[in-house]
Amino acid sequence: MTIAIIFNEKIIKYDFGEGHPFRGDRFINFMNLFKNLGLHKDPRFTIIKGIDASDEDILLVHDQEYINEVYTLAKYRSFLTPDTPLNMEIIEGAKAIVGSSMLAGKIVMENSKIKIAEGIGGGLHHAAIDRGGGFCIFNDVAICAKMLIKKYGLKKILIIDTDAHAADGTMDIFYDDPKVLLISIHQDPRTLYPGRGFIYEFGIGEGEGYKINIPIPPYAGDECYKIVLEEIFKPIAEEYRPEIIIRNGGSDPHWADQLTNLCLTLKGFRMIGETIKEVSEKVCNGKVVDLCGSGYNPKVLPYAWLSIILGLSGIEIPIEEPLEIPNWVHEKSILKIEETKNVIKEVKNTFKKYWKCFK
């Protein structure tokens, strides 16, 4: 099996400037690590040049008025929101990210030799139909899913979002749509942007019960994530039986991230990849689109992204933590296991009327 790494050099332009936590060099740093380890020569990987999304592609999710607003603000180098400045280069980068995520979906659907495609830079999950923010302009995750529905007629897509921040934009876009099952595992929204992603936000109409938020406590670590994946993700995925899985989220659940308060280690990131690989092989013939873009400690980011990818691939390469793990990480994360189990109980109790696996 070959894993595609989709990389478009234009994504480097997705850079919000000096002093901002989201810089474009993250993408180069990841590719440098990938190449320094010789993985670009490994026959199990193939690097594919990404393409740019068109306005027509972006219209799969976002309305024309919002797109016009974005272009106008970018032209005058203004702000979409206080944390998301715009200029025309950033828009170029955003369209390159969307194009890479869409291409990842197309490759998995059309190339029988490639079951997993990694869209470098993807996961801009805070953008909704008519809004952006949280460093997100266009929601490439949702656009990829909409493209899969429109172009390939898919009726069951599972998006698992493992970013530390809740997938509020993706959730709102598909809030009434049963064709997209969203599972978002994130830090308790009472303690972190965007203040959304509560258990009671579970969809409306035909989409009710298809939006599953799992707000884990600050300092939850590897064991907490493992329990959530075992108790929630696995049984739901096996019951829903999606035609493809889209995972998004970068390094920001890491214990050393500078904007969040979770305690994943590199072993935890690898475990996420391994679990998604295992489940995908059971339910959707191994088809996975993986999107890595976030993370706010540049010393950690490329190693965490790579750990997820190696977990998905099943390739055993030792990756050392770039920073020494302090004692408090283990101590605090252990104390959060019971709290996490209580969250899981509440999720199961809320969703048992929608999913047989929780009855």
State yes or no: pLDDT of 81 exceeds 90: yes
Going by C-alpha positions, the residue among 140, 163, 114 that lies closest to residue 313 is 114
165 noted as active-site residue? no
Side by side, the strands of the sheet bearing 114-120 are: 45-49, 2-7, 114-120, 288-292, 244-248, 157-161, 180-187, 211-216
The model's pTM: 0.98
Catalytic-role residue among 40, 62, 125, 126: 126
Going by C-alpha positions, the residue among 146, 132, 233 that lies closest to residue 182 is 233
Going by C-alpha positions, the residue among 121, 14, 159, 131 that lies closest to residue 62 is 131
Cα–Cα distance, 246 to 57 (Å, whole number): 18
Average pLDDT over residues 227-234: 98
With cut-offs at 50, 70 and 90, classify the pLDDT of residue 32.
Answer: very high
Check the CA dihedral 122-125-126-128 and report its sign. positive
Q: Which pLDDT score, from 0 to 100, does residue 54 have?
A: 98
Q: Which residues of 169-183 are buried (b: 16+ CB within 10 A; e: fewer)?
A: bbbbbbbebbbbbbb
Average pLDDT over residues 94-117: 97
State yes or no: pLDDT of 1 exceeds 80: no
Average pLDDT over residues 317-322: 94
CB neighbours of 289 closer than 8 A, spacing ≥ 6?
101, 104, 105, 108, 116, 117, 119, 144, 244, 245, 246, 247
Average pLDDT over residues 246-251: 98
Q: Which pLDDT score, from 0 to 100, does residue 271 have?
A: 98
With cut-offs at 50, 70 and 90, classify the pLDDT of residue 248.
Answer: very high
**Could you tell me the residue range of the domain that residue 170 belongs to?**
2-358
Cα–Cα distance, 302 to 220 (Å, whole number): 21
Query: How many folded domains does the chain comprise?
Result: 1
CB neighbours of 35 closer than 8 A, spacing ≥ 6?
none
Give SS3 for 122. coil
With cut-offs at 50, 70 and 90, classify the pLDDT of residue 113.
Answer: very high
Average pLDDT over residues 271-275: 98
- The CATH code of the domain that includes 345 is 3.40.800.20
Average pLDDT over residues 82-109: 98
Mean pLDDT of the chain: 98
- Helices 301-313 + 266-283 axis angle, to 10: 30
